[in-house]
Structure 1
Amino acid sequence: MTGPRIPPAPDSGAPGDPIPSLARELDVVRRRVDTLAEATEGLPGRVEEIAGLVAKLTDALAAVTARRSPEPAPSWLLAPSDPDELHALVEELGSWLATVFLRYPDGAQVLPECWLWHPDAVEELLWLMHAWCAAYQGATASVGAAGDWHDRQRPGVVARLRKSVGSCSIERHQPRPGWSEVPSSPAEVPGLGHTGRIVGWWATGRDQPPPEPAGFPEASGGGLG
């Protein structure tokens, strides 16, 4: 006796029919899309939050970079030969001297009328002015820098000016017979005549005793010839 015939499942379709399989795959895709939509529901807000954080970090990095790269002070000794630029430097320095430096009694005492005749004095005052600007103005300003300017930088410049120009006067720059003239040109670098001997020794025999200076008798057995 033959048993009852079991009909095929309704969604199985005829053999080779792709529709049921596609329906199942479509259902899986739909569920994945629903899951993804739930997961990304607050994504736009989070993207904006991250963008704001990146902007803040960028600003902070720029500020740190600016603090690490302060502007260099101009040099009077290496200043350009353009009279207009030099005049602008002196005008700016003179204004700062009147506003800041001469407010300190010891500063007023050590700055003679002839300070512009002394390139070393102008150089000192220029960098001191820019150190003050860095301590009090701009992105690099800080209480610590201001304290360093008062405790170390300004007193150091005042002490050096007292030694170099404190006793000078405008009259000393008017040459008269019998008067000692103030040097106006830089001093020669001493010892450069020995460069060849020292370079040869340091390049090839620095572990040996150095050669004796030229013009002196060589010690027997000592140094390089």
Structure 2
Amino acid sequence: MTAPGKDPDFARADAVAGLAREVDGLRRTIDPLRDVGGRVDDLGRLVGQLTDAVAALSKRPAATPAPSWLLLPTDPVLVEQLLGELCAWLHAVFLRYPDGVTALPECWLHHPDVVEELLWLMHAWCAAYQGKGASVQLAGDWHDRQRPGVVRRIRQNAGSCSIERHQTRPDWEQYPTGAVPVPGAETVGAIAGWWAAHRDDPAPEPAAPHAGCTTNGAPHR
């Protein structure tokens, strides 16, 4: 028996409508969860990538610090050895570039800032080409940014200087033309002694070219 005043069809329709509302509410709750599986997969891939990156960084060798010309120990032997290595590298690498030849003044050894620039550039080249972490990226950065930057600063700070500005001898002779030697290499010994023990005093007066030697040991004539 149906309760008085209640239409059986209306009661059933009302119940169905209520059930439909509940189903719709459940669907709205569940729908956002459908993407959780994909998001978990994405998160897993990201964690894996981060793990690989951290592992690669931990395997990368520590950077080798470059010696600073401005803070070298007061050891003439060490200073001269470092200058010898730098001169050899300049002859083999830096002076292969025409802008390096034109930018480097022959009095470069009398400019501590220029020596400092060239030292770190040499070590940057060694790291890019010969170090355990050598890579195409480091070599590209050396060519594209580091070397041009050093050349630009040397030209700006010392490019207009000359050996005559560091000496007073009236009979000064110029370097002969021909193959490009490392300018001023014959003064390495004098500069090393000055910088190692008397760097706060004026630099020694440069010797005449015929008194020194080129980088291959042949005297200037």
Deviations 1:174-195 (A, max 9, x none): 158xxxxxxx969xxxxxxxxx
- Following the alignment from structure 1 to structure 2, what is the Cα–Cα distance between the partners of residues 87 and 173? 20
Question: For residues 190-209 of structure 1, what are the structure 2 equivalents within 5 Å?
Answer: none
Q: Structure 1: 5+ residue runs without aligned partners? A: 1-60, 177-183, 187-225
Q: Alpha-carbon deviation of 1:138?
A: 2.1
TM-score (norm 2): 0.50
- Matching of residue 114 in structure 1 with residue 107 in structure 2: yes
Q: Structure 2: 5+ residue runs without aligned partners? A: 1-54, 170-198, 202-221
Q: Larger relative contact order (C-alpha < 8 A, sep ≥ 6)?
A: 2
- Following the alignment from structure 1 to structure 2, what is the Cα–Cα distance between the partners of residues 66 and 109? 41
Task: Point out the structure with max Rg over C-alpha.
Answer: 1
> Aligned to 1:105, which of 95, 98, 106?
98
Secondary structure of the structure 1 residue equivalent to 2:64: coil
- Matching of residue 154 in structure 1 with residue 147 in structure 2: yes
Paired positions, count: 119
> Aligned to 2:138, which of 110, 121, 145?
145
Secondary structure of the structure 2 residue equivalent to 1:126: helix
- Matching of residue 124 in structure 1 with residue 150 in structure 2: no
Q: Alpha-carbon deviation of 1:79?
A: 0.5
- Following the alignment from structure 1 to structure 2, what is the Cα–Cα distance between the partners of residues 121 and 74? 14
- Matching of residue 92 in structure 1 with residue 66 in structure 2: no
Query: 1 or 2, which has the higher helix percentage?
Result: 2
Deviations 1:99-122 (A, max 9, x none): 000000000001111100000000
Pair 1:169–1:66, CA change in 2 (3 A):
farther
Secondary structure of the structure 2 residue equivalent to 1:141: coil
Q: Name segments (4+ residues, structure 1) moved above 6 Å.
A: none
- Following the alignment from structure 2 to structure 1, what is the Cα–Cα distance between the partners of residues 200 and 93? 30
Mapped contact 2:61–2:132 kept (Cα < 8 A): no
Identity between Structure 1 and Structure 2 (%): 67
- Following the alignment from structure 1 to structure 2, what is the Cα–Cα distance between the partners of residues 138 and 96? 15
Q: Alpha-carbon deviation of 1:66?
A: 5.9
> Aligned to 2:161, which of 168, 173, 176?
168
